[in-house]
Amino acid sequence: MNRMSVARIAGTALLAAGLATSLSLPATATPQAASVGMLAAMQRDLGLTTDAALARIDQENVANAAAQTLTTRLGSDFAGTWFDSSTGRLVVATTNVARSQEIQSAGATAKVVQRSAAQLDALKSTIDARATSAPKSVSGWYVDLTTNSVVASVVGADSAGVAWAAAQGARTETVTEAARPLWNLIGGQAIRNSQARCSIAFSARSGSTRFILTAGHCGELGGTWSGSGGTIGPVSRFNFPTDDFAAIQVTSAAAVQTALVDRFNSGSDVTVAGSSAAAVGSSICRSGSTTGWHCGTVQATNQTVNYGGGDVVFGLTRTSVCAEPGDSGGAYVSPNGATRVQAQGITSGGSGNCTSGGTTFHQPVNEALSRYGLSLVTG
């Protein structure tokens, strides 16, 4: 949709509505270590029982800890890590068969592959440099660690898109529709200016100066933004396209920052405890004003998405969480306790819907915090 459209579009896409709105636990999880609402969402969206959801959270925490250690230890032999939900174990890819025993001794499954993580990233960077030559049918590309390749998403197996992908050295996957910007996401509170409605992802600060983070395609509209209680403040900075994040300065003394994310009818608000990135294969949940609280898994990191019209965004995280128009700018989080979460990202865009399922992309929050020199508000 045209991101400059006015008024309240209850569900658009980059996901916008003329107004674009907007889990690590201790080992041995117990029902108290994961909230009822979060477990219910994981059961609904991942097809898990309560016990299976608790066990999975435990397994993912063990896997994420091992991944951090092995990523550094393997150096140039490292070719990526992912969580295998069928075995409940971390898989570590390496280009050196001699490192397999070391990986297995750390409690992970070793997989020997041809390309290192650095080589895969280099290939993707080469394709990124040719982004403007991509046909419109190529909706994005990403590093698929599980197949040790770069994958290009082509709408309807369009021949021009398939040929372009092949020329770049990318493997092709067919998708039914192109990704589109998601305008209407809500992390906990809807925000508006004269042209659109978006949502808060997270609160952040630089010294005593306060900000809220949202999607860059919302910040691009500029102006002064307001929330349910009145004026919040003006757009301070935005990055879109290339990236998709923005900071709105909180200038109103009446606007109080919190570390909360709304779970709608899935339970009470959750509290952001930090921003440790979840591994590929981990469970992740999204909060949005159109479709509420939904969960899925992290499918890939560093995805490039071609939204069309020259709007190409790099470095997004690909997930199986559904979203619909109006869900842009909202919060992506991962489990970190009974009512605590780790901030993961800011909803950018996607395809599909929450009836038949879909694919969504988020802008990693740590990149936005680093670029703007901000600290996340935690509770």
What is the distance of C-alpha 59 from the center of its chain? 21
Q: Which of 261, 270, 267, 313 is nearest to 289 (CA)?
A: 261
Which are the contacts of 75, defined by CB distance < 8 A and separation ≥ 6? none
Distance separating alpha carbons of residues 238 and 263, to the nearest angstrom:
26
Reduced 3-state DSSP string for the chain: CCCCCCCCCCCCCEECECECECCCCCCCCCHHHCCHHHHHHHHHHHCCCHHHHHHHHHHHHHHHHHHHHHHHHHHHHEEEEEEECCCCEEEEEECCHHHHHHHHHCCCEEEECCCCHHHHHHHHHHHHCCHHHCCCCEEEEEEECCCCEEEEEEECCCHHHHHHHHHCCCEEEEECCCCEEECECCCCCEEECCCCEEECCEEEEECCEEEEEECHHHHCCCCEEEECCEEEEEEEEEECCECCEEEEECCCCCCCCCCEECCHHHCCCEEEEECCCCCCCCEEEEEECCCEEEEEEEEEEEEEEECCCCCEEEEEEEECCCCCCCCCCCEEEEECCCCEEEEEEEEEEEEEECCCEEEEEEEEHHHHHHHHCCEECCC
Of the residues 139, 203, 328, 348, only one is catalytic, namely 328
What is the distance of C-alpha 228 from the center of its chain? 26
Q: Is 362 a catalytic residue?
A: no
Of the residues 217, 275, 320, 334, only one is catalytic, namely 217
Of the residues 77, 144, 243, 244, only one is catalytic, namely 244
Q: Is 58 a catalytic residue?
A: no
Q: Which of 24, 84, 86, 83 is nearest to 57 (CA)?
A: 24
Q: Is 328 a catalytic residue?
A: yes
Task: Return the active site residues.
Answer: 217, 244, 328
